[in-house]
Amino acid sequence: MSTNSILAPIQSDLQAVEIRLRESIRLDYAPLANVFETLIESGGKRIRPALAILASKFHPADQDKMVTLAVATELVHAATLIHDDLIDKSPVRRGSPTISSRWSGTATVLAGDYLLARAADISASIENFRVMRIFARTLMTICEGEIRQDFGGAHWPPNRAEYYHHIESKTASLFSAATEGGAVLSGAPDAEIAALKTFGHNLGMAFQVVDDILDFTADARELGKPVGSDLRQGTFTLPVFYYIEQNSPAQAGDILSEDLDRLVNTVRNSSAIDASKAEARRFAKVAQDALAVFPDNEYRRALSGLATYVVDRTL
């Protein structure tokens, strides 16, 4: 099942988001405007804006504010991609050269910061204090997670608890901000807001686990980077933790001394991949179970369908 079919009930809303996204990055300074346009126009699945919209559909919501929230959510995501590409030294993103491959590190960081500020400005225009606070806390969580990973916040050897903390910060926090924010905008009761926040969090966890699986199993040309790039950079993800636990639990500190091409291939063909996929399915199931408080309508089915899609996707 494709995202287009899953998101059919909100296609008109997503089209409005696309228009507003392009309006939000129109700048007088051409170099900055051009790189933002390339990033936004390269597409992506727009899952985060879709989550914000779907979460707002169970009660009447102001469409303009709903679209504004969706746009702000996608801009935060775009900003994190800019920063991630710099940290990962990625030359290509969705078939186009990354900003970090063309600009200095300082300029790249500032470009990402600009988009974060733009997202904050747009979210503030909604004039909903609770939504603003959700966004502010999410931005802090994302930044704190990256700092912990990249500047010594974690201990060596890393452990699975630290991995979960990182993907909560990196991915799940924005998914849950989208669903929680959408629910708040619709005036949903607290129990439903909590349910949608739980849904978004667990969907985000499943999404990142699958991303980390695809880092081993997808084709390098489709990934736009070498297979196993996280491990090659010294970052342990769930498939690596399962591989260590299944094969050499006492050797985590020595794993990076092995031949990396061979190690990546070994992990790729090991039962660690199936174990990681099962973990992603568990997160997706928790997300789907959280939807039980909502009526069985097209919006609930779309959210549930996204959870299935996230686990089954091949890229």
Match 């091409």 to its residue by tokens. 261
Sorted by where each starts, the structural domains of the chain and their CATH numbers stand as 3-312 (1.10.600.10)
Q: What is the pLDDT of residues 156-195, one digit of tens each?
A: 667 888 899 999 999 999 999 999 999 999 999 999 999 9
pTM of the model: 0.94
- What SS3 string covers 83-135? HHHHHHCCCEECCEECHHHCCCHHHHHHHHHHHHHHHHHHHHCCCCHHHHHHH
Comparing 30 with 175, the larger pLDDT belongs to: 175
Residue 307: per-residue pLDDT: 98
Q: What is the pLDDT of residues 292-312, one digit of tens each?
A: 999 999 999 999 999 999 999
Residue 12: per-residue pLDDT: 97
250 pLDDT higher than 60: no
Q: What is the mean pLDDT of the chain?
A: 91
Crossing angle of helices 190-217/260-268, nearest 10°? 120
How far apart, in whole angstroms, are the C-alpha atoms of residue 54 and residue 66? Answer: 10
